Structure 1
């Protein structure tokens, strides 16, 4: 069984004390493919080192996270993303999008940065990986303006309604499902099995959003097993089969 974690921040300083051991725990649990989203330029060196240390397992994205979109620096950060894309291969542009939980005053430049990076993804024929927090309407507004056959990717950490899920799928997005599906009041477990598994990929977002029973503790990629077990329950399907389908879905998205 091969399990794919399509969204994990393995370079996070939360893992500085035990990164190698943490990754080895994931490998021992058959989690062997890690897709690494970017945040901003301050993490680039750590991401490249991670890839160098685990070249058979780690696949890097590049992009500017919406919470790092600041008036005085975002243009320089976007130039950094452009330079990286021109220099070497990445598997996606992400994570990008809109976050109105932390700061609503930057909405317009968040939208600008999101649109700009969608265009970069199209230029390089790459998927996008979307971060959305308190911003479904705003995300969909941008996607409407950019909708085309070469727009595709993953709606990371999907936590919306069934209607929002169907709308996300209409933009050629897969749904990234992580620890939230195991939460008692997470919501998405009420309708997820109405969505064909061909639209689903698994993720942890580690070190964040630990699944039950680890909620409130540091998340790690090995804990994706709890997400897999929950989907097995929801879809009434063996975990190995769900792992196979979701891994194949990730290969379609990331072209690996």
Structure 2
């Protein structure tokens, strides 16, 4: 299986990263995709990729929560990494309107700039859309020229939003939130298009039930698979195969 969104390069894993990787491999999770968040995360992310070649793959991008008044200079620095390293995606990027003191216009401009990187580099985008999904869908509708692909990671929207995402050619990433009773996802998952579904943990965040509130890790992906399979009344292995093939196609792994 493929964990399409895992921050295992973060300090949360410094004491036991090897053990975390081994637990994932024992669960048949042999590919882990690493989303970047800001300038400071690039080096530890690339070090993790180098330490676990063929298992970990890096993305590059500026997370919306790190978009500030100097975002253009930050993006320029991040863009310079394209000449130094091969990345599998632009991410994670997007918009986050959860916090009060957000840079709304700056986030929008940074998002569009990075979408154009994706067009230029022919890479998928990994989208963070916290409290901003309608705005992002509106922007994507304008920017989609047929070349943009990617995933709305950590999806917890409704079926109408899911259909709009798929219509634009984008996948949906399901993670630990889909196992939360108060997420409402049990009413959405039965109607999701399996051809556009991929799996993620977003570790160290958002551990699935029964580990909610504790540090998440790639090995927990199996719990998400089992939960989806139960709701869809399918075999877990079938969900594994479908989502793995979707991820391989999207990220060209």
**TM-score computed with the length of structure 2 as normaliser:** 0.97
Q: CA deviation at 1:104?
A: 4.9
Contact persistence 2:65–2:102 (CA under 8 A): no
| 2:190 alignment counterpart | 193
Q: What secondary structure, in the 3-state scheme, does the structure 1 residue paired with 2:86 have? A: coil
| 1:101 alignment counterpart | 98
Q: CA deviation at 1:86?
A: 2.7
Q: CA deviation at 1:82?
A: 1.2
Distance 1:105 1:43 in 2: 21
| 1:234 alignment counterpart | 231
After superposition, residues 25-44 of structure 1 pair within 5 angstroms as 25-44=23-42
Q: 1:114 aligns with which of 70, 87, 111?
A: 111
Residue 173 in structure 1 maps to residue 170 in structure 2: yes
Distance 2:53 2:187 in 1: 38
Distance 1:106 1:37 in 2: 21
Distance 1:104 1:110 in 2: 12
| 1:15 alignment counterpart | 13
For 1:35-84, what per-residue CA distance to the aligned partner results, in whole angstroms no more than 9, with x for missing partners? 11000110111011101110010111000000000103x11221122111
Q: 1:129 aligns with which of 96, 121, 126?
A: 126
Distance 2:225 2:101 in 1: 34
- Equivalent pairs, count: 253
Q: CA deviation at 1:144?
A: 1.7
For 1:4-42, what per-residue CA distance to the aligned partner results, in whole angstroms no more than 9, with x for missing partners? 100000101111111111111111111111011000110
Q: 2:135 aligns with which of 133, 138, 144?
A: 138
After superposition, residues 38-77 of structure 1 pair within 5 angstroms as 38-72=36-70, 74-77=71-74
| 1:84 alignment counterpart | 81
Distance 1:103 1:129 in 2: 23
Distance 2:123 2:215 in 1: 30
Contact persistence 2:175–2:202 (CA under 8 A): yes
Q: CA deviation at 1:234?
A: 1.5
Please identify runs of 4+ aligned residues in structure 1 that moved more than 2 A: none
Q: What is the root-mean-square deviation in Å for CA atoms of aligned residues?
A: 1.0
**TM-score computed with the length of structure 1 as normaliser:** 0.96
Q: What secondary structure, in the 3-state scheme, does the structure 1 residue paired with 2:20 have? A: helix
Q: 1:206 aligns with which of 198, 203, 208?
A: 203
Residue 244 in structure 1 maps to residue 244 in structure 2: no
Distance 2:187 2:49 in 1: 37
Q: CA deviation at 1:170?
A: 1.4
Q: CA deviation at 1:87?
A: 2.5
